[in-house]
Structure 1
Amino acid sequence: MNAHLEQLSPRPLWRHFRTLCNTPRPSGHEAALVATLERWADGQGLAHDRDAFGNLRLRKPATPGHEQAPGVILQGHLDMVAQANADHPHDFTRDPIETRVGDDGWLHARHTTLGADNGLGVAAALAILEDDALVHGPLEALFTLEEESSMGGALHLAEGWLEGRVLLNLDSEDRGQVYIGCAGGADVNVDAQLPTAPPATGEQALTLSLTGLSGGHSGIDIHKGRGNANRLLVRVLRALEPLGARLVDYHGGTLRNALPREAFATLLLPDDVLEQAWARVASLETELRTELAGVDEGLSLALEPREEAPAEALTVQASQRLVRALHAAPYGVERMSVEVPGVVETSNNLGVVSLEVGRFHLCALVRSLRDSATADIADRFRALFELIGAETRVENAYPGWTPNPDSPLLARFRRLHQERLGSDPEVKVIHAGLECGILGGKYPQLDMISFGPLIRGAHSPDERVELDSVEEFWTLLRALVEDLATE
């Protein structure tokens, strides 16, 4: 599978990316890939070990005569976001990613996420390790687990394990840019058992669906005005509330760090209001399409009869309370940064919402450059959902990465970027949650930057990478590793 990748340049990098595409690796299922990389390391004569959480480290000694150069850590995460179009069955724990080269000069996947985030960073690190023509100091490649689901690998990384003094995070997604800071964040999980009752005489079961949104990365794309299926479907449910709608079940979004592209609900409505309900849904579809024009053009909203009657649905009061709480829940950009103009300071994403047999669950991902703002939004969720008797837990909190504009590593990168590409890179702070903040907390001596090729549509089936930018990324990475060996 994906043999065409090995014809792309730089060949060593794309050969490794082919291995990653052919080895299923959604968050929590990285074991097969870890074993594959360990076998590869054995074949290369590279030392390897894991910490207690399972994070993988590969090591290569310095080129003779460069043993005193600062140790360089090449860092990326092994897992990928698992998102597929609804009409494309794909088992991310078993099926490889099928890739294609478009006429537009970009690499795409067929109906799924591509895994360029962070597969290309991992592939680049592996290609550096096997490059015997490269002059380098001591090298470590650190591959973390479960970054996309919880930052678990970084949060549980062993302390006193890494030896390098410089860390190159290869998980950024913009050409001509280098990152020196990022947001921290936390998962906000809300759970409740809500009262139910059997269908009443004269109630009709219907399926309400909202599909066709673009989705995207909940950090990088949160400010772009794209639709969130959970927010929009709840808005429709709110409009149906006066007609006596009762929720049976709800399923919206699959990952807390991906903007939900689709949401589905089953509800009960009295027979005598069905015509009004269909009219309201048709009107709302037009209204929402108008609001999203130029940003998210594919929205589709449908209300259809369901043949099978459910055994239970939320009571009228419980359904109203839940819909109202979801309608009032914080969402989207909360504040833009004053210190870093143009960068989102605080946001949150209603990533996953579900209801099944009265059991309600919500998972939102809050991001901020300020830990106090993260805590405040989490507390607002708690205060709101306590009103319907729900329990709120804040989990997997991770710190942000404080920018250091005087970093010697940054100065070196900027010089090389000018020498090799003839331009100065933009120095940026990103609203997404890179692992650097967590790693810096455990290893405060590290000098760090983050850079990578141009990736768009991350965390959605529209994910793609610009081929020319991969060549450029490889040129810079190789030059930086070699330049550091001369220190």
Structure 2
Amino acid sequence: MNAHLEQLSPRPLWRHFRTLCNTPRPSGHEATLVAKLQAWADARGLAHDRDAAGNLRIRKPATPGHEAAPGLVLQGHLDMVAQANADHPHDFTRDPLETYVEDGWLHARHTTLGADNGLGVAAALAVLEADDLVHGPLEGLFTLEEESSMGGALNLAEDWLGGRLLLNLDSEDRGQVYIGCAGGADVVVDAQLPTAVLAEDESALLLSVTGLVGGHSGIDIHKGRGNANRLLVRVLRALEALDARLVDYQGGTLRNALPREAFATLALPAVEVEAARERLMALEIELRDELAGADDELQLALTAVGTRPAEALTRDASRLLIAALHAAPCGVERMSVDVPGVVETSNNLGVVSLTEGRFHLCALVRSLRDSATADIADRLRALFELIGARTRVENAYPGWTPDPESPLLARFCALHRARLGVDPEIKVIHAGLECGILGAKYPDMEMISFGPLIRGAHSPDERVEIASVEEFWGVLCSLIEDLARPAS
């Protein structure tokens, strides 16, 4: 599968990426890939070990004569976001990805590509196997469950890594280097809400929001794209005047992806069905106009359900839940004053569900300020406590404080300028790179993050510019060789 990848340049990197595409690896299902990498390391005579959390480290001694160079850690995460178009059946725990090239970009057919962070992992593996690269002591650090919880980094063993420099290979913009990132936390809300039987004069209808672009809840949060949960709740709010009651709800699949689709079953008085359809048509026009240029394919639909449900939320419970979701913070909360053009604080209403009165929400709060993350989490707790819900904060991780005076950054910039003729853009990203967590565990470690050009991460539109991968590889290899020599 995906044999065409091995014809791309640089071949060693793409050969490893083929292995990753052929090996299912959603968060929590990295074991098969880890076993393959361990066998590969054994075949190459490379030492490897794992910490208690399951993170994998592969080590390679320095090129003879360069043993005194500072130890270098090449870091990436093994898992990928599992997103497929609704009409495309794909089992991310069993099925390989199907990739193809179009107009200089690599895509996956109807699914996420896993370039985030598969290309960084592939690059690290290609470095570890290279026999013609001069380098100091190398460690490849491959973490688990980054996309679902940052669990691998959060539970990384301390006093385990030997290197004092770290290259995080999980960035997605050509010509840029990242020196800081947002921290974040998951806010999980659960409630058991009262239900009542459907009346004889109530019809059951399925309301759907589809056709949105989706994307990364950090990198794309400021681009004006629609959040299917936010939009569906807005529609539900508009239909309350027709005495609609919620039966069930399913919106979004990952807390760190902008929801592209959301669905709700409604109990609606039969006499109001046509009025609901008319209101929906007007709302679709209104919302399409609001989203024009950012999300142009929004579709709203109201269709009959096959099996009539027995119960729906009581009218009061339905109104309270919809009101709470409507009032919940969603999207950009504040732009940074210290770093112009960068989002400081945001919240993504990532996963919302309602089944037989059991309500569940998982939101992802991000901020460059840990205090702002805590404040949004507390606001969500205060809001949902009003409807009797239980709220907890999970998987909190710190931000990565920028160090613009880092000698590692200076060497990267000088090399980038010499190799490509331009200075890299030095950036801070509103996304959860693992650097903040790693830096808290290894406070004396210098680190930067860079990578090839990836677009559409966390959605089936994910793609990578092939030419940028070759450029990324050239910069990475040159930097490794430069760091093997004494600083000038």
TM-score norm. by structure 2 comes to 0.99
* Structure 1 ranges of 4+ moved more than 6 A: none
Hey, what does 1:26 align to over in structure 2?
26
Hey, what does 1:41 align to over in structure 2?
41
User: 2:62 is paired with a residue of what secondary structure?
Assistant: coil
- Output the CA distance in 1 between the equivalents of 2:163 and 2:388: 49
Q: Structure 2 unaligned runs (5+)? A: none
User: What is the deviation of 1:197?
Assistant: 1.0
- Output the CA distance in 1 between the equivalents of 2:150 and 2:335: 24
- Output the CA distance in 1 between the equivalents of 2:381 and 2:359: 15
Hey, what does 1:344 align to over in structure 2?
343
Counterpart AA for 1:438? I
Q: Structure 1 unaligned runs (5+)? A: none
Aligned sequence identity (%): 81
User: What is the deviation of 1:89?
Assistant: 0.4
Hey, what does 1:297 align to over in structure 2?
296
Equivalent residues in 2 for 1:344-363, closer than 5 Å: 344-363=343-362
- Output the CA distance in 2 between the equivalents of 1:448 and 1:459: 25
Q: Deviations over 1:101-146 (max 9, x none)?
A: 10x2110110000000000000000000000110110000000000
User: What is the deviation of 1:275?
Assistant: 1.1
Equivalent residues in 2 for 1:45-444, closer than 5 Å: 45-102=45-102, 104-444=103-443
- Output the CA distance in 2 between the equivalents of 1:94 and 1:307: 30
User: 1:146 is paired with a residue of what secondary structure?
Assistant: coil
- Output the CA distance in 1 between the equivalents of 2:206 and 2:441: 49
Counterpart AA for 1:108? H
Counterpart AA for 1:121? G
- Output the CA distance in 2 between the equivalents of 1:13 and 1:35: 19
- Output the CA distance in 2 between the equivalents of 1:463 and 1:3: 20
User: What is the deviation of 1:198?
Assistant: 1.1
Hey, what does 1:472 align to over in structure 2?
471
User: 1:444 is paired with a residue of what secondary structure?
Assistant: coil
User: 1:339 is paired with a residue of what secondary structure?
Assistant: coil
Q: Deviations over 1:162-181 (max 9, x none)?
A: 00010000000000000000
- Output the CA distance in 2 between the equivalents of 1:101 and 1:464: 9
- Output the CA distance in 2 between the equivalents of 1:438 and 1:217: 20
User: What is the deviation of 1:23?
Assistant: 0.1
- Output the CA distance in 1 between the equivalents of 2:319 and 2:205: 17
User: 1:353 is paired with a residue of what secondary structure?
Assistant: strand
User: What is the deviation of 1:151?
Assistant: 0.3
Q: Number of aligned residue pairs: give it.
A: 486
TM-score norm. by structure 1 comes to 0.99
Q: Deviations over 1:40-87 (max 9, x none)?
A: 000000000000010000000001111110000000000000000000
User: 1:364 is paired with a residue of what secondary structure?
Assistant: strand
Counterpart AA for 1:297? D
- Output the CA distance in 2 between the equivalents of 1:97 and 1:54: 24
Q: Which moved more, 1:277-286 or 1:255-264?
A: 277-286
User: 2:419 is paired with a residue of what secondary structure?
Assistant: helix
User: What is the deviation of 1:307?
Assistant: 3.2
User: 2:206 is paired with a residue of what secondary structure?
Assistant: strand
- Output the CA distance in 2 between the equivalents of 1:428 and 1:275: 52
Hey, what does 1:2 align to over in structure 2?
2
Q: Which moved more, 1:448-457 or 1:281-290?
A: 281-290
User: 2:41 is paired with a residue of what secondary structure?
Assistant: helix
User: 1:461 is paired with a residue of what secondary structure?
Assistant: coil
